[in-house]
Amino acid sequence: MPASPAGPFAIFATPGAQVVGTWVAALLTLAVLSYLLGDNILFRLAEHLLVGVAAGYAVAVAWRDVLWPRLVTLWQDPLGHWYDGLFFLLGLMLLGRGVRRLSSLGNIPLAILVGAGAGFALGGAFLGTLLPQVRDTIAPITPQPYGGGWSGWARAVDAILLILGTVAALTFFTYHREAQGKGGRFSQGVIRFWGSAGRKVMMVAFGALLAGAAATFFALLQSRLFFLIYDWLSLLGVRGP
């Protein structure tokens, strides 16, 4: 037989607690779905509960997994973990932003947060997006390196489309001066053509992202509807299809 959970959370594993949890989840789901009828107090209540519970959970996890362990190590070995004390000092200085007279103290940690965040974002964009895009663009456009045959031709065509799409998307963001003469008009026409193609490539990319988001939304909606039909209605004696 499986071991019964011990501790203060054992009560949540009892059948009665599971029934209550199912009812609460079902009522909150119905409250969220009530937005289909327009903005109402039930939807706002569910929205406030979601934000409050998420904020409380984030604070609890931050205290248990980040702040408290570092406080313990700093208390036990202050010389070996002096940098944790520096971090706590910066955090206390950041809290000073809530007081008008002490708001200037929060400028230093706020500047560190913004600078570190910008550095990590730029590094992630460069290493995670730009370099892989350049690496995939520098690819053979003949079928031989891919093994030949239909598979090789398909991958070669895929490489060509990737190169053309990347060049077109980058051309869309090109800013240039008005050139003079025939060569200038020709270059302007080429840039306008590739810029228009880049705009279409970006529209296709955004459409694919939107389609993925919509598919995720409908998958979540399906899971909640199945929960209402098979889990909640079964408590009322109604059998699902």
| Residue 122 is assigned to a structural domain of this protein | no
The 3-state DSSP class for residue 198 equals: helix
> With the CA atoms of 7, 8, 9 and 12 taken in that order, what torsion angle do they form, in degrees rounded to the nearest 10?
120
Cβ neighbours of residue 240 closer than 8 Å, sequence gap 6 or more: 229, 230, 233, 234
CB 198 within 8 Å of CB 171: yes
> With the CA atoms of 125, 129, 135 and 139 taken in that order, what torsion angle do they form, in degrees rounded to the nearest 10?
-150
| Residue 195 is assigned to a structural domain of this protein | yes
| Residue 99 is assigned to a structural domain of this protein | no
Residue 191: band (very low, low, confident or very high) from pLDDT cuts 50, 70, 90: confident
| Residue 80 is assigned to a structural domain of this protein | no
Q: Which of 174, 169, 175 is nearest to 129 (CA)?
A: 169
| Residue 1 is assigned to a structural domain of this protein | no
- What is the distance of C-alpha 141 from the center of its chain? 34
d(CA 145, CA 164): 19
pLDDT at 111: 92
Q: Which pLDDT tens digit goes with each residue over 152-171?
A: 788 888 888 888 888 888 88
pLDDT at 215: 95
| Residue 171 is assigned to a structural domain of this protein | yes
* Tally of domains in the chain: 1
Helices (H), 63-148: 68-76, 82-95, 107-125, 131-137
| Residue 207 is assigned to a structural domain of this protein | yes
Residue 6: band (very low, low, confident or very high) from pLDDT cuts 50, 70, 90: low
Residue 13: band (very low, low, confident or very high) from pLDDT cuts 50, 70, 90: low
Q: Which pLDDT tens digit goes with each residue over 92-147?
A: 888 888 788 888 888 888 999 999 999 999 988 888 888 888 887 887 777 777 77
| Whole-number average pLDDT of the chain | 83
* Domain range for 230: 149-241
pLDDT at 62: 92
Q: Which pLDDT tens digit goes with each residue over 217-230?
A: 999 999 999 998 88
Higher pLDDT, 175 or 66: 66
Q: Which pLDDT tens digit goes with each residue over 57-95?
A: 999 999 999 999 999 999 999 888 898 889 889 888 888
Residue 198: band (very low, low, confident or very high) from pLDDT cuts 50, 70, 90: confident
Least confident of 52-66, 133-147, 177-191, 203-217: 177-191
| Residue 12 is assigned to a structural domain of this protein | no
Q: Is the pLDDT of residue 150 over 60?
A: yes
pLDDT at 8: 54
Residue 148 — φ and ψ, nearest 5°? Answer: 70, -175
pLDDT at 101: 82
